[in-house]
């Protein structure tokens, strides 16, 4: 009897030891690191959530750094621990990733918004620029640079994102046809690599790292500082919307506008599916060019295409600007009665999406699943895509804005890590869906994901040469296919700057310490 009892006790001790060995011991070693910021090992749940609201991976710790040195010390510590720790690091800015890209399961999430350092500094002159923290929000950069009559050249549609976050992807909006994406307007970076090294890089200094990090999905380093090019900022914006019923005409006009010295500073298009009373909704903030004709326009049950244009100007230029706009509009083939215009301050135009965010938050419709799908489609195949998607897959309704507009590849630097279609002009098509929680209908998550899958299958079967923007894949084969001929170069860069694959585990491209010659 005593033997049996002792055997049971021994068995339980062995289980306890085994369980104890399974408990991660990493956080205790992090506590000893000489940093100015601090680690949090308890309040970590917020770091397992993002804008996509579809994935949740709990980290072991959240680092709240005060400096780039804190980040470097942490990453270097993990690097020196070697592959046995299995610990990884994700940089989290404003948490706007869609599929857990800024999460680190049982790893360390770096709360970039805690990052301090030199204050934002605007440099004026013939080639103005601003030096900012990688954790800075673009909206704050806009406010500060406007004090000097300056502003960045290229934007995203939503400004409440961090510099490091958008530069790790590309940063695209309606200015990209002229200025390229945000990554084409960066002069210099400060980066913490996967070895814990703090490196300054630019076109002429450590250029390989510079171009690796830009659009590099966080795989090569964490952006802690950036130097952004600026230009003189306008005070006002002429904001214009017109409608089309025919996609071919809509696309032709867009391509014409981006092909030459367009008078417009911003060009985007979007698809409108079965939106009742569309023009009535616009009248709250836009003036119709012909109210009597517009009142007879019926949008019910039709797929329409909206061209959205903006012209920047200063008040003293009003007469010239109006003439330029009229000349440009006369070349378009839109439905005449659907010309709507508005005149707003520059900052109000750029921050327009934030106004929608405030409204959605007030209704509890912001923190819902966002199964977004962003595609880059060659111009030669955009008509096939539009016919199949807007004619067969999406016919009755949509669950959010659908953007569709062309950009010039010549404005993108081919040395960065971004993967683009192989044509001089390609379209960004973004399905910015929001899913109704708990719904099993057409506005539910599963239905939207099914539609996304059908769209991707169409692109694959028809060989449309499509590349995903903000890409996310689950298998090595899919990533290889995404990068294509650039895969080997991407792997080589990874092995150089983050050989243990410590950084950005949420992208699911590499596993820590896995051979990088996969």
339-393: pLDDT as tens digits? 999 999 999 999 999 998 998 899 888 999 999 999 999 999 999 999 999 988 9
Residue in the block written with tokens 């959010």: 400
Q: Per-residue pLDDT for 492 more than 60? A: yes
Tokens of residue 405, six digits: 């507009």
265 in catalytic set: no
**What does residue 36 show for φ and ψ, rounded to 5 degrees?**
-85, -25
In sequence order, what are the residues at sequence separation of 6 or more whose Cβ sits closer than 8 angstroms to the Cβ of residue 457?
Answer: none
Q: Per-residue pLDDT for 464 more than 50? A: yes
The pLDDT of residue 292: 62
Q: Which CATH class is domain 119-231?
A: alpha beta
The pLDDT of residue 117: 78
* Nearest partner of 57 among 5, 115, 99, 24, judged by Cα: 99
Superfamily of domain 234-466: FAD-linked oxidases, C-terminal domain (3.40.462.10)
Burial of 200 (0-12, 13-18, 19+ CB in 10 A): middle
Question: Residues 311, 268: contact at Cβ < 8 Å?
Answer: no
The pLDDT of residue 197: 98
User: Which tops the pLDDT comparison, 250 or 365?
Assistant: 250
**What does residue 239 show for φ and ψ, rounded to 5 degrees?**
-115, 120
Q: How far is CA 145 from CA 93, 172, 233, 317, 345, in A?
A: 21, 20, 9, 22, 15
DSSP for 22-70 reads HS--HHHHHTTS--SSEEESS--GGGG--TT-S-----SEEEE-SSHHH
- What percent of the chain has pLDDT above 70? 90
Confidence of residue 289 (pLDDT cuts 50, 70, 90): confident
Taking only the tens place, the pLDDT of each residue in 220-248 is 999 999 999 999 999 999 999 999 999 99
Number of Cα atoms under 13 Å in the Cβ half of residue 59: 33
Taking only the tens place, the pLDDT of each residue in 130-188 is 999 999 999 999 999 999 999 999 999 999 999 999 999 999 999 999 999 999 999 99
268 in catalytic set: yes
What is the dihedral sign for C-alpha 270, 275, 278, 282? Answer: negative
Residues of the chain with CATH 3.30.465.10: 119-231
Q: Per-residue pLDDT for 304 more than 50? A: yes
How far is the C-alpha of 73 from the C-alpha of 30, rounded, in Å? 10
Question: Residues 340, 244: contact at Cβ < 8 Å?
Answer: no
The one catalytic residue in 265, 268, 308, 498 is: 268
Taking only the tens place, the pLDDT of each residue in 39-89 is 999 999 999 999 999 999 999 999 999 999 999 999 999 999 998 888 999
The most confident of the ranges 181-195, 395-409, 435-449 is: 181-195
Across all residues in the chain, what is the average pLDDT?
91
Burial of 209 (0-12, 13-18, 19+ CB in 10 A): buried
The pLDDT of residue 99: 95
Q: Per-residue pLDDT for 514 more than 60? A: no
157 in catalytic set: yes
Confidence of residue 116 (pLDDT cuts 50, 70, 90): confident
The one catalytic residue in 40, 113, 143, 157 is: 157
Q: Per-residue pLDDT for 18 more than 50? A: no
The pLDDT of residue 15: 39
DSSP state of 511: -
Rounded to two decimals, the pTM is 0.92
* Nearest partner of 405 among 372, 433, 374, 435, judged by Cα: 374
What is the dihedral sign for C-alpha 384, 390, 394, 395? Answer: negative
The one catalytic residue in 77, 96, 370, 447 is: 96
The pLDDT of residue 13: 39
End-to-end Cα distance, the chain: 56
The pLDDT of residue 465: 97
The pLDDT of residue 263: 82
The pLDDT of residue 276: 65
Core vs surface per residue 110-120: b (16+ CB within 10 A) or e = bbbbebebeee
Q: What is the 3-state secondary structure (H, E, C) of 215-260?
A: CCCCCCEEEEEEEEEEEECCCEEEEEEEEECCHHHHHHHHHHHHHC
Number of Cα atoms under 13 Å in the Cβ half of residue 227: 14
The pLDDT of residue 442: 92
Residues of the chain with CATH 3.40.462.10: 234-466
Mean pLDDT check: name the lowest of 24-33, 42-51, 68-77, 508-517.
Answer: 508-517
Q: Per-residue pLDDT for 284 more than 90? A: no
């Amino acid at each position: 009897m005593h033997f049996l009892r002792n055997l049971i006790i021994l068995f339980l001790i062995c289980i306890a030891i085994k369980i104890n060995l399974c408990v991660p011991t990493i956080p205790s070693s992090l506590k000893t690191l000489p940093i100015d910021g601090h680690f949090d090992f308890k309040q970590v749940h917020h770091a397992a959530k993002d804008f996509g609201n579809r994935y949740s991976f709990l980290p072991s710790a959240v680092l709240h750094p005060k400096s780039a040195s804190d980040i470097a010390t942490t990453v270097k510590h993990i690097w020196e621990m070697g592959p046995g720790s299995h610990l990884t690091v994700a940089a989290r800015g404003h948490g706007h990733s869609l599929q857990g890209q800024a999460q680190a399961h049982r790893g360390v999430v770096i709360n970039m918004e805690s990052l301090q350092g030199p204050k934002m500094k605007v440099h004026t002159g013939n080639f103005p620029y601003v030096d900012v923290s990688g954790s800075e929000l673009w909206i704050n950069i806009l406010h500060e640079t406007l004090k000097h009559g300056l502003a960045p050249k290229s934007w995203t549609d939503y400004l409440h994102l961090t510099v490091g976050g958008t530069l790790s992807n590309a940063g695209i909006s309606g200015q990209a046809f002229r200025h390229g994406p945000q990554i084409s307007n960066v002069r210099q970076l400060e980066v913490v690599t996967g070895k814990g090294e703090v490196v300054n890089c630019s076109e002429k200094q450590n250029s390989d790292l510079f171009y690796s990090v830009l659009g590099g999905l966080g795989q090569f380093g964490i952006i802690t500082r950036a130097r952004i090019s600026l230009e003189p900022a306008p005070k006002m914006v002429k904001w214009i919307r017109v409608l089309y019923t025919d996609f071919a005409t809509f696309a032709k006009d867009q391509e014409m506008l981006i092909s030459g010295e367009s008078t417009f500073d911003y060009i985007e298009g979007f698809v409108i599916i079965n939106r009742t009373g569309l023009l009535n909704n616009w009248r709250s903030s836009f003036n119709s060019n012909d109210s009597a004709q517009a009142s007879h326009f019926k949008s019910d049950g039709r797929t329409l295409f909206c061209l959205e244009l903006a012209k920047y100007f200063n008040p003293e230029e009003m007469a010239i600007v109006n003439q330029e706009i009229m000349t440009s509009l006369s070349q378009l083939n839109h439905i005449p009665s659907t010309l709507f215009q508005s005149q707003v301050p520059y900052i109000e135009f750029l921050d327009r999406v934030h106004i929608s965010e405030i409204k959605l938050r007030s209704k509890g419709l912001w923190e819902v699943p966002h199964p977004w799908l962003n595609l880059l489609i060659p111009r030669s195949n955009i008509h096939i895509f539009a016919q199949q998607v807007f004619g067969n897959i999406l016919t009755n309704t949509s669950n959010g804005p659908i953007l569709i507009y062309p950009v010039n590849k010549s404005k993108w630097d081919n040395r960065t890590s971004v993967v683009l279609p192989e044509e001089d002009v390609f379209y960004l098509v973004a399905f910015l869906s929001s899913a109704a929680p708990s719904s099993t209908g057409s506005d539910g998550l599963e239905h939207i994901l099914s539609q996304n899958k059908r769209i991707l299958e169409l692109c694959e079967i028809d060989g449309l040469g499509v590349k995903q923007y903000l890409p996310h894949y689950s298998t090595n084969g899919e990533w290889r296919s995404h990068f294509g001929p650039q895969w080997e170069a991407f792997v080589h860069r990874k092995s150089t700057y983050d050989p243990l694959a410590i950084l950005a585990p949420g992208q699911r491209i590499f596993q820590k310490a896995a051979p990088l010659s996969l």
